[in-house]
């Protein structure tokens, strides 16, 4: 076994307080990526013509 994740990194990954804030941050970030709109790829892209469902 190779310890690739240091003790300090692991502490940060598993600390409930740090992770609580990470949870909020990740939730918002994921919403931005996933619910942030989608569209086609074949039309000329301009803000007006890009149709978002």
Partner 1 sequence: MSKIVILGAGISGHVAASHLRRKLSKEHEVLVVSPNSNYQWIPSNIWVGVGRMKSKEILFPLAPLYKKKGIRYKQAKAITFHPEGDKTEQKPYILAEYVVGEKKGQQEKVTYDYLINATGPKLNFEATEGLTPGLNKTYSVCTYTHADHAWEGLNDLIQQMKQGKKVKILIGTGHAKATCQGAAFEYILNVEQELRRHKVRDMAEVTWISNEYQLGDFGMDGMLLSYGSMTMKSSEMVGMIFEDRDIKWILGVGVDKIENGIAYYENLDGEHKKEKYDFAMLIPSFSGHGFKAFDKNNEDVTSKLFKGFMIVDADYTSKPYEDWSVKDWPETYQNPSYQNIFAPGIAFAPPHAISKPRKSKNGTAIFPAPPRTGMPSGITAKLVADNIIDSIKSGKDTAHHKGSLGNMGAACIASAGFGITQGSGVSITTYPIVPDYEKYPKTQGRQLGKTFGEIGLAGHWLKLALHYAFIYKAKMRPFWWLIPE
Q: Is 49 in the site for partner 1 (CB under 8 A)?
A: no
Least distance between partner 1 and beta carbon 46 (Å) = 14
Of 7, 36, 47, 48, which one interacts with partner 1 (CB under 8 A)?
A: 36
DSSP codes, 1-53: ----S-HHHHHHHH-HHHHHHHHHHHHHHHHHHHSS----SSSPP-TTT----
Residues lying near partner 1 in the complex (CB under 8 A) are found at 1-5, 12-16, 19-20, 22-23, 26-27, 29-36, 38-42, 51, 53
């Amino acid at each position: 076994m190779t310890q690739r994740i240091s003790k300090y990194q692991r502490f940060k990954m598993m600390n409930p307080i740090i992770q609580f804030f990470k949870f909020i941050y990740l939730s918002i970030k994921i919403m931005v990526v996933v619910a942030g709109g989608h569209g086609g790829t074949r039309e000329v892209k301009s803000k007006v013509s890009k149709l978002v469902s």
